[in-house]
């Protein structure tokens, strides 16, 4: 299970309707997380490192990130994060 990260074009964000997705915010912290379903998110602010059993990835403002269903990981938020997100 791989986490995908990309720098999306404005056209891609528009076609996905990202601006209409809910927003989630979280302060600097570290926590365990499990994805019961796929999550796509667009990072508006912040800096995050996510560690799984097989990889460690870092991402921040301007990144579009997809987490696969069934993934267990540890989030470390280095700089308070604000993101649009969508499950499913």
Give the pLDDT of residue 68. 98
Which of 27, 34, 70 has the alpha carbon at shortest distance from 50? 34
The CATH number of the domain holding residue 36 is 2.60.120.10
Give the pLDDT of residue 21. 98
Give the pLDDT of residue 12. 97
Give the pLDDT of residue 62. 98
Give the pLDDT of residue 34. 98
Which of 43, 49, 44, 42 has the alpha carbon at shortest distance from 78? 49
Q: Which residues pair with 33 in a beta bridge?
A: 73
| Total domain count, the chain | 1
Taking only the tens of pLDDT, the chain with its 88 residues reads: 899 999 999 999 999 999 999 999 999 999 999 999 999 999 999 999 999 999 999 999 999 999 999 999 999 999 999 999 999 9
Give the pLDDT of residue 19. 97
Give the range of the structural domain holding residue 74, as residue numbers without chain letter: 4-87
């Amino acid at each position: 299970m791989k986490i995908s990260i990309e720098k999306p074009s404005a056209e891609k964000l528009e076609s996905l309707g990202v601006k209409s997705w809910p927003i989630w915010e979280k302060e600097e912290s570290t926590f365990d997380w499990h994805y019961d379903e796929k999550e796509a998110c667009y990072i508006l602010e912040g800096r995050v490192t996510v560690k799984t059993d097989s990889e460690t990835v870092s991402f921040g403002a301007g990144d579009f990130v997809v987490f696969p269903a069934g993934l267990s990981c540890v989030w470390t938020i280095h700089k308070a994060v604000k993101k649009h997100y969508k499950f499913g």
